[in-house]
Amino acid sequence: DLKTRDRKKPRRLVTAHRKRDQACGRMNELEERITETPATSIAGMIAKARCAKAYDANCYPDCDDPLSMFSASIVRDLLAMAQVQS
């Protein structure tokens, strides 16, 4: 139907999309800073593991590729070691 295709999107929807895009941009900036900063201690590795765990759970909950599986394994191991040390 031509009328529905030519209608403008509701202002609130446009605003929500803009805020989502801004949040995604900020998340991408943080990802770059975290991944490009070398960990210099076990505490730093554990902090990165926590970030990876949160990122993986939110962005790729059902991912089965081998790299993701190995990365998830390393994250679990580091976080388990962090709990033992606490």
Distance CA 5, CA 67 (A): 42
**Tens-digit pLDDT profile for residues 31-59:** 888 888 888 888 888 888 888 777 766 66
Q: Global pTM?
A: 0.57
Q: Are 39 and 47 in contact (CB under 8 A)?
A: yes
Q: Radius of gyration of the chain from Cα atoms?
A: 19
Per DSSP, the chain holds a count of helices (H) and strands (E) of 4, 0
Question: Using CA atoms in the order 49, 45, 29, 9, what is the torsion angle rounded to 10 degrees?
Answer: 10
Nearest to 51 by CA among 68, 34, 70, 32: 34
